[in-house]
């Protein structure tokens, strides 16, 4: 009679499943953050009033809304930023105002206006991925 029992199990398939789940999650993150970012960027373009400057090489804020690639922040959260590229300094003036210009809270207003739609997109994509 033996005083020990040996159990062996091959975890290779389980490890592969976890790796595949990780790849699926990355796809969902990329797709969901891009869809949500496009909603915010579109609304931001709608909220920006086109300046009346008509110079040939002038870049209007309305035409310069950009979405960054997916990045990890300091807390390892994956994020995308919506910005005006080299014209970001103008967005700060619009948001916070200057000594001669009142703030119009362009960025804050846009985030608030799109908050529910972004949550809905995120919820729907997560539910779809989980098969709910």
Q: Break the chain into its structural domains and give their ranges.
A: 12-50+59-130
Q: Is the pLDDT of residue 46 over 90?
A: yes
Q: Phi/psi zone of residue 85: left (φ > 0), alpha (ψ -120 to 50 degrees), beta?
A: left
Confidence check: pLDDT of 1 > 70? no
**113, pLDDT greater than 70:** yes
Instruction: Name every residue whose Cβ is closer than 8 Å to that of residue 101 and which is 6 or more positions away in sequence.
Output: 93
d(CA 87, CA 58): 11
H helices of 1-132, in order, are 12-47, 88-96, 106-130
CA gap 45, 31 in Å, rounded:
21
Q: Which two tokens stand for residue 112?
A: 């608030």
């Amino acid at each position: 009679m033996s005083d020990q029992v040996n159990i062996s199990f091959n975890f290779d398939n389980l490890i592969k499943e976890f790796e595949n789940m990780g790849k699926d999650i990355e796809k969902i993150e990329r797709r969901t953050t891009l869809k949500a970012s496009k909603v915010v960027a579109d609304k931001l373009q709608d909220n920006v009033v086109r300046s009346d400057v008509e110079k040939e090489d002038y870049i209007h804020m309305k035409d310069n809304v950009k979405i960054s690639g997916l990045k990890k922040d300091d807390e390892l959260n994956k994020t995308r930023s919506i910005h005006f590229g080299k014209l970001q300094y103008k967005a700060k003036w619009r948001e916070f105002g200057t000594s001669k210009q009142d703030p119009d809270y362009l960025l804050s207003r846009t985030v608030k206006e799109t908050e529910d739609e972004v949550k809905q997109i995120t919820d729907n994509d997560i539910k779809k991925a989980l098969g709910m």
